[in-house]
Amino acid sequence: MPLNILITGAGVSGPVLAHLLRVSNPSHNITIIERSPSLRLAGQQIDIKSHGVPIIAKLGLRDAIVSKRVNETGAEMVDAKGRSLGRFGIDEAEGGEKMGVVGKRGLGFTSEIEIMRGDLVRVVVEGSLGVQRRVEEDAERGKKDYETQRAKKREGNGKGRETSVGTLTYEFNKTLTSLSQHSDSVTGKPAGVTVTFSTNEQKTYDLVIGADGQSSQTRRLAFSSQISNSCFHSLGIHTAYYSIPSLPSDLSTLARIHISTSQRAVMTRNGDRDSTQIYLFTMASGDALRVSYKQDIVAQKAVWREIFTGVGWQAERFLDGMDKCADFYACELGQVKLPSLYNGRVVLLGDAGYCPSPFTGLGTTVSLAGAWVLAGELARHGDDVDGALEKYDGVMKPAIREWQELQFGDLGTFFPKGRWGVWVLENGVWVMDRLMVRQIVGWVWGSGVWVVEKLGVGKLVRFMVPKKEKDGGWKLPEYPELGLGALA
């Protein structure tokens, strides 16, 4: 049965889900609404790894994504004068910075595929529209064949079937203002959702999918403000992302991190591009920052400037660049943990339902896996939409638990208040780099980790040495019903 489906949010997970739904059932009518007046392309480098890699291959988007990959090979720590203290996150065993091909990088600081968020959003949206065009063309061809066959049938031979093609539309500058669920008058089971848009139109859908990010409004409307607020577990870290024009001295395939006093850190990522990404992180001034998120961008920038003045390294240049940039984005980092991913006929996808936080490096990978499972279960369950949502919830729960594990435990270690803490971190990185701990731990992984844990510097080492993918962890299910063949 074709479904009328509404997806809120044209970020990463929404368009990928639309793509998979369109492939699995050409008759669904799919509408994606986006709050911004056009695609929201802001954001810095994001990672695709692990389960995300076979999914982008199945979507036929691997080459397009790889062609936009950022050339980053690891990270180095710099002091307040910008001098290098040590490198980390480079998987030497796999070839480290000589790496030029996908599939070789480890799960370290730099992932298998690093891409600018805006590039990825463009690719996945274009991918969903491309598959829609193909389905329409196939149907047009099928219709012609059908007409030919019907003509033949009138002559006594031939048989055919006309396929109806559903729509896939993106609508911008649109949000939900309310939604009400209704149930079947006979069975009492969920039957659909009537929504009111910011344009005052009302429409009824069989299924509403909230893919509208970490602060999802769909979640608030479907699960109540109280549940929606309490499901956000802050890591106590705030971040601002933006880009500034590169200087020749920025050109590098290494991310650079400077840890400063008063719980502040600055990171730059350049990847040999003509703009340099700036990341500001802080565990201080949380109250002022939370207030600023409700204000306009100019007011937000003023708060960040005040906090980061005197941070060292190229603080003035970075803060002047912030004042001029057009892609500033700031938020509180945290994880979304809900007891259930659906309520009636509203279901959550990606950051809206299970944001693991950028500190896991898994936000995008998880949202791709979520879209795969949701589309797969809907295809498998056919008319039984409620059964599909229940199964999606069940399949995703153990995966979410695994993905939300924080590798570094208490992140406060990386945000020292005073000079002594900064000195320990800087010298720890320097010593480990000189002692070649990266290589040693790579050679004798098990005993090396034991020794450094006993020495009490485990967190630092975990930061410097790429984490190996766990064996026996959650496996991405196969869904032959999607019609995309087996996963690689």
Ligand X SMILES: Cc1cc2nc3c(=O)[nH]c(=O)nc-3n(C[C@H](O)[C@H](O)[C@H](O)COP(=O)(O)OP(=O)(O)OC[C@H]3O[C@@H](n4cnc5c(N)ncnc54)[C@H](O)[C@@H]3O)c2cc1C
Contacts with ligand X, residue ranges (CB under 6 A): 8-14, 33-36, 40, 42-44, 46, 117, 175, 211-213, 217, 241, 329, 350-351, 358, 363-364, 367
Burial class (CB in 10 A: 0-12, 13-18, 19+), 18: buried
Q: How far is the CB of 382 from ligand X (least distance, A)?
A: 26
In the three-class reduction of DSSP (H, G, I as helix; E, B as strand; rest coil), residue 321 is classed as helix
Nearer to ligand X, 31 or 364 (CB): 364
The torsion of the CA quartet 63, 64, 66, 70, rounded to 10 degrees, works out to 170
Q: How far is the CB of 320 from ligand X (least distance, A)?
A: 21
Nearer to ligand X, 16 or 283 (CB): 16
Residues 198 and 182: beta-carbon distance below 8 Å: no
Q: How far is the CB of 444 from ligand X (least distance, A)?
A: 32
Q: How far is the CB of 136 from ligand X (least distance, A)?
A: 25
Cross-strand partners of 396 = none
Q: How far is the CB of 239 from ligand X (least distance, A)?
A: 8
Nearer to ligand X, 131 or 432 (CB): 131
Nearer to ligand X, 362 or 452 (CB): 362
The torsion of the CA quartet 10, 14, 18, 19, rounded to 10 degrees, works out to 90
Question: First CA to last CA across the chain, in angstroms?
Answer: 30
Q: How far is the CB of 277 from ligand X (least distance, A)?
A: 8
Residues 304 and 323: beta-carbon distance below 8 Å: no
The torsion of the CA quartet 201, 293, 329, 197, rounded to 10 degrees, works out to 0
In sequence order, what are the residues at sequence separation of 6 or more whose Cβ sits closer than 8 angstroms to the Cβ of residue 128?
15, 16, 18, 19, 22, 168
Q: How far is the CB of 218 from ligand X (least distance, A)?
A: 7
Nearer to ligand X, 56 or 432 (CB): 56
In the three-class reduction of DSSP (H, G, I as helix; E, B as strand; rest coil), residue 486 is classed as coil
Q: How many CB atoms lie within 10 A of CB 312?
A: 18
Residues 74 and 96: beta-carbon distance below 8 Å: yes
Q: Where are the alpha helices (DSSP H) in 309-443?
A: 315-324, 351-354, 363-381, 385-403, 419-434, 437-443
Q: How far is the CB of 57 from ligand X (least distance, A)?
A: 18
Nearer to ligand X, 208 or 319 (CB): 208
In sequence order, what are the residues at sequence separation of 6 or more whose Cβ sits closer than 8 angstroms to the Cβ of residue 156?
none
Q: How far is the CB of 221 from ligand X (least distance, A)?
A: 9
Q: Which residue is nearest to ligand X (CB)?
A: 11
Nearer to ligand X, 39 or 440 (CB): 39
Nearer to ligand X, 12 or 461 (CB): 12
Name the token pair of 346: 């509203």
Nearer to ligand X, 13 or 300 (CB): 13
Nearer to ligand X, 146 or 241 (CB): 241
Edge-to-edge order in the sheet of strand 346-348: 168-172, 29-34, 4-8, 207-210, 346-348, 342-343
Q: How far is the CB of 380 from ligand X (least distance, A)?
A: 23
Q: Please give the helix or strand (H or E) that residue 4 lies within, else none.
A: strand 4-8
The strand pair at 74-78 and 84-88 is best described as: antiparallel
Q: How far is the CB of 34 from ligand X (least distance, A)?
A: 5
Q: How far is the CB of 262 from ligand X (least distance, A)?
A: 23
Give dist(CA 289, CA 332) in Å, integer.
8
Nearer to ligand X, 352 or 441 (CB): 352
Give dist(CA 181, CA 194) in Å, integer.
6
Nearer to ligand X, 332 or 433 (CB): 332
